[in-house]
Chain A
Amino acid sequence: MRYIRPLSIEDAVGQLARSAGTAAILAGGSDLLVRMKGGFVEPDLIVDIKSIAGLSEIRETADGFSIGAAVPCAVLGENAGLKKAWPGVVEAAKLIGSKQVQGRCTITGNLCNASPAADSVPALVAAGARAVIAGPSGKRTIAVEAVPTGPGKTSLAKGEIIEAILLDKRSPRSGDAYLRFIPRTEMDIAVVSAGVNLTIDEHGVVTAARVALGAAAPTVLLVEEAAEALVGRKLDEAALERLAKVCAGACRPIDDKRGTIEFRRKVAGVLARRAATTAYARAGGK
């Protein structure tokens, strides 16, 4: 096993692309080190990306926010501008693990670990976040929902590294929210979860919406019909009822000791409703 700490993204990409055997990217390590400890993975090469310039920064640009791949979730919660613009994304990121884990874990790692129950991912999908990927043939930017392809699997090719997550500049009268169900108050993994992001006009009518569900299918679900249930109307009881029904119907959950299919379906609808209500209030809707 080799451990390297490249100083540039080009060097990191080159080392990964040239590596024979298994290679792993290390940012916070809160998934990687657990998998190594459990014997599930034994990388021949570990590429620590924390010394690459810019990867440990949150940048606020004219277009929005760029969150470097090595930024720990704790830092997201300390960024006032990001919290104000994207409170749903930040509250989702802050739900991952304990304070100790918060000091290490990253949203990019959460995305690339590709767990269907990843807390930050539905919020990012609802927010329309994009991933900037550096690779042997240059850079590309894709929607975050195109990254996970199944439990533990991503669409990233050999040599590719996500260097940042992009969030758009906030349009006026917009809000987002994320909620998950766990059987306790802290330190658990979502049984099912929902992220909602919406924009309203001056009359409180929803003009744009994105609804995403977590732990409800092999990958995060972007539920387009759920957005259709909201757009063009105020967030009244009928719209919320329709939203809940569509979300429950869109789920393709598993049945396990943490929740039955029936339970997950019902709770997905309830959480989507509640998240939509919070997002609507954050957008200034009454």
Chain B
Amino acid sequence: MAGIAVSTTINGDTIEYLCQPDETLLDVLRDRLGLTGAKEGCGTGDCGACSIILDNRLVCSCLVLGAEAEGRRIETVEGMAHGDQLHTLQQKFLEHAALQCGICTPGFLIAAKDLLAKNPDPTEEEIRFGLAGNLCRCTGYDKIVRAVQDAAIVMKGA
């Protein structure tokens, strides 16, 4: 089967691929394009490990078909750092030890990036609600919230 030809923009680059009609964008990113930052946790939109930004909206890439990405703009965790220069959120996650096993981390980073883009000065409650679609089974969330708070302070000053 040849598949559906899709042309899309991922982290600023024009990307073309072929996919099957029932293939999720998550599977396309990971298995066809080698972008393995987005993780498959549940595959049903509950855990947020596959979070990406699609045309400025935070979405679960497991709930998007690869075919739907035609002409859209996608941001993944791979686009956050500039070369060796980590994004402030990535740096703060390291400093605050806001990760243990790391499976949920790319999803949290993308969700936090989207949160701070829309609300640069969130309260702790807004951060907790804003990240409620991302599950972490290691950290107990507290260090993640601290890292995002600290990143918000640095990013506001930038």
Contact = CB atoms under 8 A, between A and B. Distances in A.
Contact of A3 (B4, B59, B64, B129): B4
B105 interface: no
A48 interface: yes
A257 interface: no
Interface of A: 1-3, 5, 26, 28-30, 33-34, 36-38, 46, 48, 50, 72, 74, 97-101, 103-104, 186-187
B139 interface: no
24 contacts: A1-B21, A26-B65, A29-B63, A29-B64, A30-B45, A33-B62, A33-B63, A34-B45, A37-B62, A38-B44, A46-B21, A48-B67, A48-B68, A72-B57, A98-B134, A99-B58, A99-B111, A100-B48, A101-B60, A101-B63, A101-B133, A104-B63, A104-B64, A187-B133
A5 to B, nearest CB: 7
B54 A103 contact: yes
B101 to A, nearest CB: 20
Contacts of A97: 45, 133
Contacts of A72: 57
A2 B45 CA distance: 23
A33 B21 contact: no
Given A100-B48, A103-B59, A104-B59, A33 B133 contact: no
B41 to A, nearest CB: 12
Contacts of B60: 100-101, 104
B65 A29 contact: yes
B51 interface: yes
Looking at chain B's contact residues, the main secondary structure is mixed
Contacts of A37: 43-44, 62
B52 to A, nearest CB: 9
Given A1-B22, A3-B4, A72-B57, A99 B68 contact: no
B24 interface: yes
Which of A3, A28, A50 is the most central at the interface, judged by chain B CB atoms within 10 Å of its CB?
A3
Contacts of B51: 100
Contacts of B45: 30, 33-34, 97-98, 100-101
Given A3-B4, A100-B60, A101-B60, A33 B65 contact: yes
Interface string B19-32: 01110100000000
Question: For this complex, into which size category does the number of interface residues on chain B fall?
Answer: 20 to 34
A99 B133 contact: yes
B130 interface: yes
Nearest to B115: A99
A98 B133 contact: yes
Given A3-B67, A26-B65, A104-B59, A98 B48 contact: yes
A99 B65 contact: no
Interface in B48-104: 48, 51, 54, 57-60, 62-65, 67-68, 70
Nearest to B132: A186
A267 to B, nearest CB: 23
Given A5-B67, A33-B62, A104-B64, 10 more contacts: A3-B21, A26-B68, A33-B63, A37-B43, A46-B65, A48-B68, A100-B48, A100-B133, A103-B58, A186-B132
Which of A2, A30, A48, A103 is the most central at the interface, judged by chain B CB atoms within 10 Å of its CB?
A103
Contact of B21 (A2, A98, A100, A104): A2
Contacts of A34: 44-45, 63
A99 B117 CA distance: 14
